[in-house]
Structure 1
Amino acid sequence: MMVCSARACRQQAAYGVVWNNPKLHTPDRRKVWLACEDHRDSLSGFVSLRGFLIEVVPVDQLDERDG
């Protein structure tokens, strides 16, 4: 089971929040935080405010380049 990345959350993840910090990562690097339905907005909002958000996708659409 894939578990949500939010602190202290143990719910099953439904989404992948895909992001990249250009100061730390190469342009092709895709970091992923897993998110349950309850934490999708807060996790994606956190990286979006910093300009790091690439996309939010269902976990079944994540592939080997995401990690």
Structure 2
Amino acid sequence: MKQFILGLVLVAMQYTVNSGEMLQSIAEQYCQGDDLRQVAEFREGIRELNYDVIGESDV
């Protein structure tokens, strides 16, 4: 049997979107690293957590 250590950190913060900002730019600002897939997943995570506010529209 193999043992793995799994860590999950959930951080919630409030962010006010400024005029001209997009989910992509916000995700790039807060996502660590330059992995485009990771940034895309982070962006969609923001959308999912705020779906009741933004729905499918662009920010």
Q: TM-score, normalised by structure 2?
A: 0.31
- Higher relative helix content: 2
Report which of the two structures shows the higher radius of gyration computed on alpha carbons. 2
Q: TM-score, normalised by structure 1?
A: 0.29
- Higher relative strand content: 1
Tell me which of the two structures has the higher relative contact order, counting C-alpha pairs closer than 8 angstroms and 6 or more residues apart. 1
